[in-house]
Amino acid sequence: MKILVCIKQVPDMESKFRIDAEGVWYDGSDLAWRMNEYDEFAVEQAVQVKEQQGGAADVTVLSIGPDRVKEMMKKALAMGCDRGVHIADAQSHRRDPFAIASIIAEFAGDKGFDMIFTGLQSQDRGSAQVGVLVAEMLDLPALSTAVDFAFADGIITAKRELEGGMKAVVKAGIPALVTCQLGLNTPRYPTLPNIMKAKKKELLSLEVGDLLKVENLLKTEKMYFPEKKGGGLVLEGEVGDLADQLIKILKDKTSVLA
Amino acid sequence: MKALLIGEYREGKLLASTYELVAFARKLGAETAMFLVGGEADLPRYDGTLYLADAAKHGEFSPTAHKRLLLEAVAREKPDTIVFSHSSYGWDLAPRVALALNAAQVSEVVDVVDGSLVIPSCNAKLRRNLSSTTAVTVVTLQSGAFGLDDEPAGSPALERVDVEATRGPEFAGYEVADKTGVDLTKAQIIVSAGRGIGKAENLEIVALLAAALGGEYGASRPVVDAGWADHNRQVGTTGQSVAPKLYVACGISGAIQHLAGMKKSDFVIAVNTDKDAPIGEVADVLAVADVKQLLPALTERLNSL
Ligand SMILES: Cc1cc2nc3c(=O)[nH]c(=O)nc-3n(C[C@H](O)[C@H](O)[C@H](O)COP(=O)(O)OP(=O)(O)OC[C@H]3O[C@@H](n4cnc5c(N)ncnc54)[C@H](O)[C@@H]3O)c2cc1C
Ligand SMILES: Nc1ncnc2c1ncn2[C@@H]1O[C@H](COP(=O)(O)O)[C@@H](O)[C@H]1O
């Protein structure tokens, strides 16, 4: 069984963001980078399928981005992926979901993957498009928003999460693509021995130019900070003072202490 | 400008979010028609053409069939904009339709400014204005971003759409949320724990503050996903929608899916180490502090009142 997992590196969302010189994306310097949260569930699910197959599966982890994404890919390898494919692209942040999906589909097209896992969405772009687009480009069934996953007899049974806590049980035969929602599983922490082992795993670099055959369909006019719409009172200072102030506010502004 | 609005239907009922699409089209100044895989028992209150496909025949979740049905309506209506909700239905179907039409897709639109579509980025800390370069554009709308000022009214002119049955992912039934345990929707005071509490043991300081205030504790999704709290305590789009007198968000960043579940609260206090956390946008008071320090101090004062 051949499995592909697509992962993206994103900034820590608690970072102080700045806008880049062209005004169309955030400035990439001085940010802490990590694996897109949704993609951790994708990696974990791929590795669990491999384990379920008694190891009889080969898991490729793929990421498009500048050199720094290799750091994150090593984490995926330490979690149990077998090999990495880094599609070197210093301009990946300028591409739209259609272009990113096209690159992945171009790579995966002739490889015969039985299962492809992606995150539901990336935390910085949040388009929730790439996974489903890749499936459509490759003419595979896509099960999106999975919070539960089982595989038996060539059939994937997933639970799609709907609004309000409801779920839909859906099935598709492999080959198929699954987009992973938060809570699908419990992503493992790489252990030290596995981190060491990961260093020896193959991490191939490909040039994006060889795989990119399309143009963006979207144009970013600008990126900016939203106007603060009011927002409330901001209290800063020593904890004891803050607690006193909050008690006063609860007394003055609410009826909960009455 | 001509927009085709994609309504949603679940368990035999039209979803009210369908009217948000109408509000968006008005803001865009577009003519509209609607498409729905639904049933005549619950039609949208809408004056215009409704391309109606039969949910009883095609199923409520059957992306391959829904895509083909929608493409049939598109061929007849020839819209330049196709509008979905950014929902489990919308983000599943929209990219399929966009690709088939060589259309650009803009996800999670929150506003339209001078013809460009505004979307949030990085947990709503940033915004982006996008424009499409394709003849047809597919958009999905953030839940709650557009609302009608008036009650929806009217009755649609029906146009039937049908296609041959197709194979694709198969739907095998719904599973409803477990409704046992605490009912947060009845609580007047809720103190919620977010990932910022750091570890399971710290849930207790949140629960103690809730008790000192005479309320219940709630949680954001990561806290529930990690198994630190039960799902019936989750606040947000995939949990409970609450409207208490007081909501205290502890170590919660304020992602839109969380805000959707608590923004109707009368008074909101946020405790967060990040002064720029988006929760600040809906909070009446943001106390910039570590939950592990501020909460016990607050609880102690409350208990000695
Ligand atoms: C389809 C969908 C549905 C979803 N449904 C829901 C839902 O129903 N409910 C929900 O909550 N989420 C939901 N989410 C997830 C949502 O997008 C966010 O990922 C989630 O709300 C983040 O939870 P959080 O704020 O606890 O964690 P984070 O976003 O990680 O925020 C943690 C916060 O804690 C602060 N912090 C860190 N340490 C401290 C400290 N010591 N003291 C004080 N503050 C600290 C940080 O500054 C940060 O702001 C959904 C997502 C999707 C895609
Ligand atoms: N640069 C990238 N490299 C590899 N995978 C990606 C990249 N961007 C997005 N993806 C995958 O597509 C998913 C959805 O991303 P998006 O459509 O940007 O919200 C992510 O969770 C990843 O699995």
Going from the Cα of B9 to the center of ligand 2, the distance in angstroms, rounded, reads 29
For residue A159, the model assigns a pLDDT of: 98
CB contact under 8 A, A163 and B87: yes
CA distance B41 to chain A (A): 22
- Taking CA–CA distances from A232, the nearest residue in chain B reads B284
pLDDT at A231 over 90: no
Residue of B63, B122, B175 with shortest CB distance to A26: B122
Q: What is the DSSP string of B159-196?
A: EE--------SEEEEEEPPP--S--GGG-SEEEEE-GG
CB contact under 8 A, A16 and B133: no
Chain position carrying tokens 């008694």: A54
CA distance B40 to chain A (A): 23
Residue of B104, B121, B168 with shortest CB distance to A218: B104
pLDDT tens column, A60-110: 999 999 999 999 999 999 999 999 999 999 999 999 999 999 999 999 999
B7 touches chain A (CB under 8 A): no
Q: Where are the alpha helices (DSSP H) in A28-187?
A: 37-52, 69-79, 97-108, 130-137
User: Which residue positions in chain B have pLDDT lower than 50?
Assistant: none
pLDDT at A255 over 80: yes
Phi, psi of A139 (to 5 degrees): 60, 45
- Taking CA–CA distances from A234, the nearest residue in chain B reads B286
Task: Extract the tokens encoding A1.
Answer: 């069984």
Counting residues of chain A whose pLDDT is more than 70, the rounded percentage is 100
Helix axes B291-303, A239-253, angle to 10 degrees: 50
Interface pTM, i.e. ipTM: 0.95
Which of these ranges, A161-165, A183-187, A239-243, has the smallest mean pLDDT? A161-165
Evaluate whether B223 touches B198 at the Cβ level (below 8 Å): no
The C-alpha torsion from A76 through A80 and A81 to A86, rounded to 10°, is: 30
For residue A146, the model assigns a pLDDT of: 98
Q: What is the DSSP string of B260-299?
A: HHHTT-SEEEEEES-TT-GGGGT-SEEEES-HHHHHHHHH
Residue of A145, A249, A256 with shortest CB distance to B213: A256
Q: How much of chain A is in helix, strand and coil states, percent to nearest 5? A: 30, 30, 40
Going from the Cα of B196 to the center of ligand 1, the distance in angstroms, rounded, reads 8
The H or E element spanning position A118 is strand A115-119
Pocket test for ligand 1, best of B247, B252, B279, B291 (most atoms within 8 A of CB): B252
Evaluate whether B34 touches B152 at the Cβ level (below 8 Å): no
- A230 band by pLDDT with thresholds 50, 70 and 90: low
Mean residue pLDDT of chain A comes to: 96
Evaluate whether A42 touches A36 at the Cβ level (below 8 Å): no
